[in-house]
Copies of this chain bind each other. A is one copy, B any other.
Amino acid sequence: MSSFRTTGRKIVAIGRNYAEHAKELNNAVPTEPFFFLKPTSSYVDNGGVIEIPKGVVAHFEVELGAVIGRRAKDVRREEAMKYVAGYALGVDMTARNVQDKVKKAGLPWSTAKGFDSFTPISSFIPASSIPDPSNVNLWLKTNGNTRQNGNTKDMIFGIPQLIEHVSSIMTLEEGDLLLTGTPSGVGQTQDGDVMEAGLQLPGESRILAELKMKVKERQGGYVFKL
């Protein structure tokens, strides 16, 4: 499953799964999970470049990703962890001004979430390295300043519930990635920034997964106009 970035076929990303984050964007705290799809063409590996299309206000959202190990359809939460092969650290890059516009118009989020390089992703972390995924620290810095610093214990819906929900709608397959939502502190990043993110077990200095990305304005391609 270490090849999930090149073999997986979908990225299912949960929205508003931390109460503090829902509030910071003036959204209601959800009573059931909801999700959107990101294309696997948006993956970019550690050390790469996040390219921001012209006119786009790009926000970072650091998230714990669960990598699916085998086909999961209608899986109950009690069985769900058997389908998780491991984890990855991801950033759900979001074109916030594009998203604000489509939300008002009732249109899909796919463009706002799906640009090339909008899913920085770490290497694979085997499940055995994270005995309790509901107690992991995740943080994000830009230019050395801490912007997000959360713990997965603050998720509204845990990974088992998320897998139960998603797999009741669409079959999860080997290599699919489930992004589990972002803690508070999301904000803008722009041309010239250096973005770093990390995943750590509480009380341990060892970093389980790490991202260090350059942020650049994209040359060519889509231009967003309000």
Q: Are A110 and B36 in contact (CB under 8 A)?
A: yes
> Is the CB of A220 closer than 8 A to any CB of chain B?
yes
User: Whole-angstrom distance from the CB of A183 to the nearest CB of chain B?
Assistant: 20
Q: A103-B106, A104-B106, A108-B15 are in contact. Are A170 and B36 (CB under 8 A)?
A: no
Partner of A10, one of B40, B106, B116: B40
> Is the CB of A226 closer than 8 A to any CB of chain B?
no
Q: A39-B10, A40-B10 are in contact. Are A170 and B116 (CB under 8 A)?
A: yes
Q: Are A9 and B169 in contact (CB under 8 A)?
A: no
How far does the alpha carbon of A69 sit from the alpha carbon of B85 in the complex, in Å?
31
**CB-CB contacts of A160-199 with B at 8 A, as 1s and 0s?**
0000000011111100000000000000000000000000
Chain B residues near A221: list those with CB within 8 A: 73-74, 168-169
Q: Are A171 and B116 in contact (CB under 8 A)?
A: yes
How far does the alpha carbon of A37 sit from the alpha carbon of B114 in the complex, in Å?
9
Q: Are A170 and B10 in contact (CB under 8 A)?
A: no
User: Whole-angstrom distance from the CB of A105 to the nearest CB of chain B?
Assistant: 8
Q: Are A115 and B41 in contact (CB under 8 A)?
A: no
Chain B residues near A34: list those with CB within 8 A: 102, 107-108, 111
A contact set with B: CB distance below 8 Å:
9-10, 12, 15, 34-42, 53, 73-74, 102-104, 106-111, 114-116, 168-173, 220-222
